[in-house]
Chains A and B, each alone.
Chain A
Amino acid sequence: MWIWLHRLGSPPYFYRFAGRLLPWLWTACLVCLGVGLYWGLVVAPPDYQQGDSYRIMFIHVPSAWLSLLSYVLMASFSAAALIWRVKVAEVLARSIAPLGASFTFIALVSGSLWGKPMWGTWWVWDARLTSELILLFLYLGFIALASAFDDPRRAARAAGLLAIVGVVNVPIIHFSVQWWNTLHQGPTVSKLGSPSIALSMLLPLLVMVVALHLYLLAALLQKARCELIARERSSRWVNDLLPGRGVGDELA
């Protein structure tokens, strides 16, 4: 396991490994998305209180979870990059940031579109919504810092520190609905033992959760491969990827 992780830290190995995994990940992701969307938007029954508006949940909840997971991963990659100076970890942290920001953005927008008909307002400055908005600013700050230096390694160190410090926000978001009174409903799925959501709605939600996890992984690997090529463009192994150099791995 450690040896394998160590090999994954080598840019050419990572590039090939990710390249071989990607078609499978995208296929699995699209299948799950198709099943999850059809199940959630067509098959699942309307909610007895919220009617059909609750169907926003199938995109809102997975996006919100992934906005947190992406942040934890971004901070972990940054920590690995700071401690062991692994270039691939720097690249992964840099590549997951826009994805995490995207999921945060989707969670905020879909939540707003759900809040308007259900709560009567697009936005309230309560704990859950505000801390999720701060998460978006942390992502944007990371991206800005990571692009602010000419030297990519210095940029990664500066942005990495921000990512690690910002981790305090993650438990705040997660527990905000329990620590403070908020309009946002409490956890319904993860309550241990007995989730208070009907199975006919929980199952399509879980399929969508799987689909968007696969999306995150696939999009991350794809972005990271691209970023790796961009950083190593003058190195031997990247130039060996060109057709006619005999290595066989296409540059695509």
Chain B
Amino acid sequence: MSWHEFLHMGGYGIYVWSAYGVAAVVLITNALLPVFRFRALRREIERGGQR
């Protein structure tokens, strides 16, 4: 199978890849949000600890 065929998906490429694209964005966002929140919390707790 060529790259073109793979992306074309027998004419349904736009539907298939939109579905997977939306899913990827949502799932990756959900996995990354706690990482950033952890960093913010950590800074806050460190500041609190010095008081």
Give chain A interface residues in 39-73, CB to chain B under 8 Å: 41-42, 46, 51-53, 55-56, 59-60, 63
Query: Is A226 at the interface (CB under 8 A from chain B)?
Result: yes
Q: Which residue of A lies closest to B42 (CB)?
A: A251
Give chain A interface residues in 89-143, CB to chain B under 8 Å: 98-99, 102, 105-106, 109-110, 113-114, 116-117
Whether A42 pairs with B15 at a CB distance below 8 angstroms is no
CA–CA, A105 to B25, complex, Å?
Answer: 12
Query: In the complex, which of the residues A59, A116, A223 contacts B23, with contact meaning CB atoms closer than 8 Å?
Result: A59
Query: Is A230 at the interface (CB under 8 A from chain B)?
Result: yes
Given the known interface contacts A226-B34, A251-B42, A252-B42, the answer about A114 and B15 at a Cβ–Cβ threshold of 8 Å is yes
Report B-chain residues with C-beta under 8 Å of the C-beta of A105.
26
Report A-chain residues with C-beta under 8 Å of the C-beta of B20.
56, 59
- Interface size counted on chain A using CB atoms at 8 A: 38
Report B-chain residues with C-beta under 8 Å of the C-beta of A117.
12, 15
CA–CA, A112 to B44, complex, Å?
Answer: 43
- The interface bits of chain B over 23-45 (1 if a CB of A lies within 8 angstroms of the residue's CB, else 0) are 10011001101100110011011
Q: List 10 A-B contacts (CB under 8 A).
A: A46-B10, A59-B20, A109-B23, A114-B19, A117-B12, A215-B27, A222-B31, A226-B41, A233-B41, A234-B48
B-to-A contact residues, CB < 8 Å: 1, 6, 9-12, 15-16, 18-20, 22-23, 26-27, 30-31, 33-34, 37-38, 41-42, 44-46, 48-49
A-to-B contact residues, CB < 8 Å: 41-42, 46, 51-53, 55-56, 59-60, 63, 98-99, 102, 105-106, 109-110, 113-114, 116-117, 215, 218-219, 222-223, 225-226, 229-230, 233-234, 238-239, 242, 251-252
